[in-house]
């Protein structure tokens, strides 16, 4: 071996030794810690109240302008597919603690609300009425609560927020644009035909294609035999002999025991569609149609304006209402 070759070999060995010494001195970077699962310890009324308050503060800006200013735009097929992939990933992360999901598609963002839930929402500068999906990670009860007419059916949002927190539901889906935003003129809640009017493109309970419906489909597909409970409201004059109308909307849900539980717990008049009443059954509801198509239960809940007012001003009555509704519909 020549002197040049020996010198090169010595230099190479020195380089290897130096590299090994540097690796030993450099601490390895720890892998990102998984998001901690929510505590399974019983929650206190104070903790529940704080969680509801946090959710309300985050959701209100997402709905801001949805009644009169946001220009509603339905998603294209490509946009809906991209959104569906994102929601699927977040559901997998919430349920199975899988690897981090894909990044939010254009126009959307993930809001992490520590100790409460994650919010899948629109970017503030790109509102289009896509709605907001609230997801609880880790242990959760098998319910998806839906509020598709939060501007029109006053009180349903507050009832949904409380129910989501109190009963540790897996998901809460809320609309962010008025039911009639896509129309130049719209009926009021007191209009005789407003409860059954499904003519508006921005009505996410009846539009054949929307981000809201896409989120519903993703939740039902990912969560299996989950109970979907969709909250609505009707004018007192539409069904003067009932405070509340329950309907399976053609799905395999059984509203009869829930009606009995509500009557006992809250002392209200409950009509079950179609045996007791022939309207307000949600049979044209697109979310119910999808649930039916995959064999899942769906409960359509219609509350009178007077009942909604009572529930949102009487915390004890609201708690008994939620316990009876979800205690029987799981």
Per-residue pLDDT of 52-61, as tens digits, reads: 999 999 999 9
**What value does the mean pLDDT of the chain take?**
86
Confidence class of residue 16 from pLDDT cuts 50, 70 and 90? very low
Phi, psi values for residue 313, rounded to 5°: -115, -5
**Residue 243 DSSP class:** S
> 18 burial class (0-12, 13-18, 19+ CB within 10 angstroms)?
exposed
**pLDDT tens by residue, 154-193:** 999 999 999 999 999 999 999 999 988 876 544 555 554 4
pLDDT, greater one: 282 or 201: 282
Q: Report the pLDDT value the prediction gives residue 21, as an integer from 0 to 100.
A: 45
Q: How far apart (Å, rounded) are the C-alpha atoms in residues 174 and 287?
A: 13
Closest CA to 109 of 95, 129, 123: 123
Read off the pLDDT of each residue in 59-76 and give the average, rounded to a whole number.
93
pLDDT, greater one: 115 or 242: 242
Q: Cβ distance 272 to 246 under 8 Å?
A: yes
Q: Report the pLDDT value the prediction gives residue 37, as an integer from 0 to 100.
A: 40
CA quadruple 317, 320, 322, 325: dihedral, nearest 10: -120
Confidence class of residue 4 from pLDDT cuts 50, 70 and 90? very low
Burial profile 155-192: b = 16 or more Cβ within 10 angstroms, e = fewer: bbbbbbbbbbbbbbbbbbbbbbbbbbbbbeebbebeee
Q: Report the pLDDT value the prediction gives residue 301, as an integer from 0 to 100.
A: 98
Closest CA to 143 of 111, 126, 124, 165: 165
Read off the pLDDT of each residue in 102-114 and give the average, rounded to a whole number.
93
pTM of structure: 0.84
pLDDT, greater one: 12 or 198: 198
Q: How far apart (Å, rounded) are the C-alpha atoms in residues 61 and 176?
A: 10
CA quadruple 113, 119, 123, 125: dihedral, nearest 10: -70
Q: At what angle do helices 211-223 and 286-293 cross, to 10 degrees?
A: 30
**pLDDT tens by residue, 76-89:** 999 999 999 999 99
Question: For the chain, which domains are there?
Answer: 45-179+193-327 (3.40.630)
Read off the pLDDT of each residue in 193-202 and give the average, rounded to a whole number.
64
Q: Report the pLDDT value the prediction gives residue 265, as an integer from 0 to 100.
A: 97
300 bridge partner residues:
230, 247
Q: Cβ distance 59 to 119 under 8 Å?
A: yes
Within a 10 A sphere around the Cβ of 37, how many other Cβ atoms?
Answer: 12
**pLDDT tens by residue, 211-247:** 999 999 999 999 988 899 999 999 999 999 999 999 9
């Amino acid at each position: 071996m020549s002197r040049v070759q020996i010198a090169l070999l010595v230099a190479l060995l020195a380089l290897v030794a130096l590299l090994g010494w540097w690796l030993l001195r450099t601490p390895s970077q720890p892998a990102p810690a998984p998001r901690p699962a929510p505590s399974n310890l019983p929650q206190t009324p104070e903790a529940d109240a704080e969680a509801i308050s946090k959710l309300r503060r985050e959701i209100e800006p997402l709905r801001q302008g949805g009644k009169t200013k946001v220009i509603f735009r339905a998603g294209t097929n490509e946009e809906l597919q991209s959104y569906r992939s994102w929601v699927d990933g977040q559901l997998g992360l919430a349920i199975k603690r899988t690897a981090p999901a894909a990044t939010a598609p254009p126009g959307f963002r993930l809001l992490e609300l520590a100790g409460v839930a994650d919010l899948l929402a629109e970017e503030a500068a790109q509102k289009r009425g896509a709605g907001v999906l609230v997801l609880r990670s880790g242990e959760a009860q098998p319910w998806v609560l839906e509020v598709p007419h939060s501007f029109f059916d006053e009180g349903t949002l507050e009832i949904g927020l409380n129910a989501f927190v109190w009963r540790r539901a897996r998901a809460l889906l809320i609309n962010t644009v008025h039911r009639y935003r896509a129309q130049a003129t719209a009926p009021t809640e007191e209009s005789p035909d407003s409860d059954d009017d499904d003519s508006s493109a921005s009505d996410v309970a009846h539009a054949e294609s929307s981000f809201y419906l896409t989120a519903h489909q993703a939740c039902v597909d990912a969560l299996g035999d989950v109970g979907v409970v969709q909250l609505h409201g009707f004018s007192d004059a539409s069904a003067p002999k009932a405070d509340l109308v329950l309907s399976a909307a053609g799905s395999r849900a059984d509203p009869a025991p829930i009606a009995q539980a509500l009557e006992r717990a809250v002392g209200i008049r409950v009509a079950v569609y179609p045996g007791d009443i022939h309207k307000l059954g949600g049979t044209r509801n697109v979310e119910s149609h999808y649930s039916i198509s995959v064999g899942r239960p769906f409960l359509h809940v219609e509350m009178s304006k007077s009942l909604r007012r009572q529930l949102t001003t009487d915390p004890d009555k609201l708690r008994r209402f939620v316990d009876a509704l979800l205690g029987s519909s799981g």
